[in-house]
Amino acid sequence: MTERSLVLVKPDGFRRGLTGEVLRRIEAKGYALVALRILT
């Protein structure tokens, strides 16, 4: 069974343009991004 994690960026972080930095840090820890969904 493959483990999965869910990451949510809060609205203020999205408004401040921090989504890319959050994803960069996650990938730097060795996690693989398999899907991305932006809901408004």
pLDDT tens digit string along 18-30?
Answer: 999 999 999 999 9
Q: Does the structure show a pLDDT above 90 at 39?
A: no
What pLDDT score was predicted for residue 2? 86
What pLDDT score was predicted for residue 19? 95
31: nearest Cα among 11, 5, 2: 5
What pLDDT score was predicted for residue 40? 78
Torsion sign (Cα): 11, 17, 18, 21: positive
What pLDDT score was predicted for residue 8? 95
> What is the share, in percent, of the chain residues with pLDDT greater than 70?
100
Residue 16, both tokens:
């401040």
